[in-house]
């Protein structure tokens, strides 16, 4: 008697692996997305309101150009800190995070000086909508810079406690991402305000 061999093939679909993302990183990206939507709404409202008329046209304070250079320089120091942490060069991380914080503070001071120049030119928060929009947009961005500075200080303290190194980069990576986002956001806002002033 012959044995009949049958080959039964079953196609079994392997379960797909869920995307693995750290919950803190995911929350940060959700926050960044909400901030982007907030500023997209503000700039859209700016354009719509400008088209309605009764809009005061004025030049932006020159000091905002300086603040733009400062925030871009701070992105360089922040990235340098991240690269240094990947190489376990913790002394450089401390220096670069400190420099980033100093540049961030300088940015805020320059923004405040810009507001003072606006007041000197008789452009106020209350009054013509063009001035109101400028104060609200720059003020909200400034508040986010303050939140990033608090985060920078937390990262700096963690670095001094040897909690930031090549095998523990999440905190510094998130801080770096957020800082670059705020720098890019300011660049967008600055160009937008130059084009639609």
Going by C-alpha positions, the residue among 73, 35, 38, 58 that lies closest to residue 122 is: 58
Residue 1 has pLDDT above 80, yes or no: no
Chain centroid, CA 169 distance in Å? 18
Looking at per-residue pLDDT, the higher value among 197 and 190 belongs to 190
Mean pLDDT across the chain, nearest whole number? 91
pLDDT per position as a tens digit, 64-123: 999 999 999 999 999 999 999 999 999 999 999 999 999 999 999 999 999 999 999 999
**pLDDT, tens digit, 9 for 90 and up, residues 17-54:** 666 788 999 999 999 999 999 999 999 999 999 999 88
């Amino acid at each position: 008697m012959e044995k009949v061999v049958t080959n039964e093939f079953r196609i079994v679909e392997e379960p797909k692996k869920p995307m693995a993302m750290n919950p803190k990183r995911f929350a940060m990206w959700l926050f960044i997305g909400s901030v982007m939507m907030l500023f997209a709404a503000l700039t859209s409202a700016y354009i719509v309101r400008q088209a309605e008329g009764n809009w005061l046209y004025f030049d932006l304070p020159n000091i905002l150009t300086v603040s733009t250079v400062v925030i871009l320089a701070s992105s360089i120091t922040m990235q340098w800190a991240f690269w240094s942490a990947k190489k376990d060069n913790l002394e450089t991380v401390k220096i670069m995070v400190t420099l980033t914080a100093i540049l961030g503070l300088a940015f805020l001071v320059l923004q405040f000086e810009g507001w003072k120049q606006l007041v000197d030119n008789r452009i106020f928060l209350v009054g013509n909508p063009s001035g109101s929009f400028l104060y609200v947009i720059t003020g909200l961005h400034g508040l986010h810079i303050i939140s990033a500075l608090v985060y920078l200080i937390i990262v700096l303290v963690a670095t001094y406690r040897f909690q930031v190194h090549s095998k523990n980069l999440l905190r510094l990576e998130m801080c770096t991402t957020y800082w670059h986002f705020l720098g890019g956001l300011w660049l967008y806002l600055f160009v937008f305000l130059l084009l639609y002033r």
